[in-house]
Structure 1
Amino acid sequence: MADIFYPLQWIADKLTYEVFGIAPTTHLAASVNFIIYDVLKIFVLLSVMIFAISYLRTYITPEKTRKVLGGKKGLRYHLIASLIGTVSPFCSCSSVPLFIGFVEAGVPLGVTFSFLITSPLVNEAAVAVLWATLGLKATVIYVVSGIVLGVFGGYMIGFLKLERYVEEFVYKIKVGKQASEQEKMTVKERARTAFEGVKDIVGRVWIYVIIGVSIGGIFHGYAPEGILEKYAGKDNLLAVPFAVLIGVPLYSNVMGMIPIMESLIGKGLPIGTSLAFLMSVTAVSLPEMVILKKVLKKELIAIFVSIVALSIIFTGYMFNILL
């Protein structure tokens, strides 16, 4: 990975030490070099991965998804729903129509939740930024954890048979069938759609990336070594649940959080604790719960948050032990 991005490191070094004239051994140089290199690296990976996933997404329509999952039960369908969630754009603003559409099409409640858990947790933008900042190993761990979390969380909700906690009006809504134009798209049209996806997503997240990298860069250059390892290291048994407890009510753009995480990990925060914090912010954010309240009763929301939060805590502990 380092060799692939060597030109970007060369640019960062050139700007930091020659153009800006900052002495290499200073804290300021460490911060500025970190910021320039990470911003360049993240935007390169972000653009490439968003284009690739957006192109693939042109073959995956809501109708196809509902057709594959409608009326299907069993672990493999939870896995399929989670895998579809990894390449499907999902945010709090689309949670209600997606939920209604899945339920109306006969997709079991647990399978629907497998999709809803994984979709905001694993997406091309988060994968690109994680890969750029923490490397391929941590990225693979994050993606696999997100998929497993979706499968387990959705399976538990289905096992508990919680359909009674869905608002009754949801089952009465008939979502109109939309004729999809995606089936007839040419390669050129799909590429154009993918390019528009790059412009749209990068256009929305660039400021969060820069802010997050800047904060991480400041911490990288100036924070004392080992401070986090001392107070939130593997030996602190309460570090993981405390990180999740902070993350659940928090609402932040994941693009800005990952570079901060990179810097915190560099200063001693365990990867498992870091991933648990990131997952809790992403998978069970307070605004998403407020919007889902329109279609779910408070009992189901409480059970959903509890299952996901406990699963994230377990994941954090597991990776703190393994890594």
Structure 2
Amino acid sequence: MVQALESRNDTRLRLMLAGGAMLWVALWLANERGWDALVGLLGLDLKSRPVGAVHFFLYDTVKIFLLLLGLMFVVGMLRASLDLEKARTFLEGRGLFVGLVLAVALGVVTPFCSCSSIPLFIGFVAAGIPLSVTLTFLIASPLVSEIAAIMIGDQFGWGIALAYLVAGSVLSILIGWIFSRFNLEPWVEDVVKSGRVATLHTGGHKPTLPQRVDAAVEETKDIFGDVWKWVLLGVALGAAIHGWVPADFFARFAGPDNPFAVVVATVAGMPLYVNGAGVVPVGEALWTKGMSLGTVMAFMMSSIALSIPQAIMLRRVLKPRLLALYFGAVTLGIMALGFLFNLFG
């Protein structure tokens, strides 16, 4: 009798989870279309800077909130359902290099911007995946963009697109390997490493489906409650500077006559907060103005891999030392790639 009741409750809970998943997908698909329709209904011009900034803020906030809630719940359920010791043993048995390569591969197939990859990064850290591997994913997910690669191939040539993919992947693995040489765990905020899910498997206990769902929901609420205000701040800042791409400035101060053009382009690309699809046309326009290939590549990589909103959001999960180390390593790596592209391009 008890088993039959538990079975019915599990069936009801699975149906609720399926319904929640369909609702999440519907909201995801309707997000951008809904804001576009609202702009049209109000008779506003989406090309104007104020309207475009507000539209970007609303769309990106909903997108990141959906990702944060959905991915944290899914990762929480996986953590509650799997034996994490076996997962860690699997990665350790395959060696660090395999883990770094898998992180890059996952980064390539996840079409996330620099901010959208953070929820999955949080889940990986909370699951006990080695920090060097999770940071490699955080670098590769926005940097090695398949969308950017296709557009680079179309506008710059497929040889350059292949070089971009290889360079971004190698840079991600190299930085991850360097990070693995240090004990970075103390530089992660405690909010990521604590939660109800971590206590489910103590003593060999196998949690039931309701226990796994409850733990995943509670952990998602805890993390979301800690970071949501920083998401709003980060996206608001990104919206304020979205669309302001000073092409004439770059053509003048990062031109072929400036030996520090790669440095200027890398630093100037950070505040722009655009994805691969948005920055490649800008890069192509700069290239036609005479900017060298390596300078253009550094600008595009910096724009999609690093951003001020990303730094604000990551501050809630990484302590200042690790945040500075992460941004510094990626920035220097992109500059080095820019100089290499200029040398061999």
Counterpart of 2:98 in structure 1 is 76
Deviation, 1:301, is: 0.7
Q: 1:100 to 1:231 in 2, by over 3 A?
A: closer
The count of residues paired between Structure 1 and Structure 2 equals: 220
Deviation, 1:293, is: 1.3
Q: 1:277 to 1:92 in 2, by over 3 A?
A: closer
Write the deviation string for residues 237-271 of structure 1: whole angstroms up to 9, x where unpaired.
21111111111233223322211211221221111
- Distance in 1, Cα, partners of 2:268 & 2:254: 13
Higher relative contact order (CA 8 A, sep 6+): 1
Partner-residue secondary structure (3-state), 2:272:
coil
Deviation, 1:232, is: 3.6
Name the amino acid aligned to 1:144: V
Displaced runs of 4 or more, over 6 A: none
- Distance in 2, Cα, partners of 1:256 & 1:90: 13
- Distance in 1, Cα, partners of 2:103 & 2:118: 17
Deviation, 1:137, is: 1.1
- Distance in 2, Cα, partners of 1:246 & 1:158: 29
Name the amino acid aligned to 2:178: M
Counterpart of 2:333 in structure 1 is 311
The alignment status of 1:267 with 2:310, answered yes or no, reads no
TM-score by length of 2: 0.56
The alignment status of 1:300 with 2:322, answered yes or no, reads yes
- Distance in 1, Cα, partners of 2:266 & 2:336: 11
Counterpart of 1:44 in structure 2 is none
The answer to whether the 8 A contact 2:143-2:301 is kept is: yes
TM-score by length of 1: 0.60
**Among candidates 158, 181, 194, match of residue 172 of structure 1:** 194
Q: 1:96 to 1:307 in 2, by over 3 A?
A: same
Between stretches 309-318 and 236-245, larger displacement belongs to: 236-245
Counterpart of 2:274 in structure 1 is 252
The answer to whether the 8 A contact 1:167-1:296 is kept is: yes
Give unmatched runs, 5+ long, in structure 2: 1-73, 201-206, 210-241
Counterpart of 1:88 in structure 2 is 110
Deviation, 1:91, is: 3.2
Alignment of 1:210-229 (within 5 A): 228=251
- Distance in 1, Cα, partners of 2:116 & 2:257: 40
**Among candidates 160, 170, 176, match of residue 138 of structure 1:** 160
Alignment of 1:1-323 (within 5 A): 67=87, 70-71=91-92, 73-173=95-195, 174=197, 228=251, 232-323=254-345
- Distance in 2, Cα, partners of 1:238 & 1:91: 27
Counterpart of 2:40 in structure 1 is none
Name the amino acid aligned to 1:306: G
Write the deviation string for residues 285-317 of structure 1: whole angstroms up to 9, x where unpaired.
111111111111111111100000001111100
- Distance in 2, Cα, partners of 1:322 & 1:246: 23
Question: Higher helix share goes to which structure?
Answer: 2
The answer to whether the 8 A contact 1:234-1:320 is kept is: no
Name the amino acid aligned to 1:171: K
The answer to whether the 8 A contact 1:95-1:292 is kept is: no
Give unmatched runs, 5+ long, in structure 1: 1-60, 180-210
Q: 1:93 to 1:232 in 2, by over 3 A?
A: closer
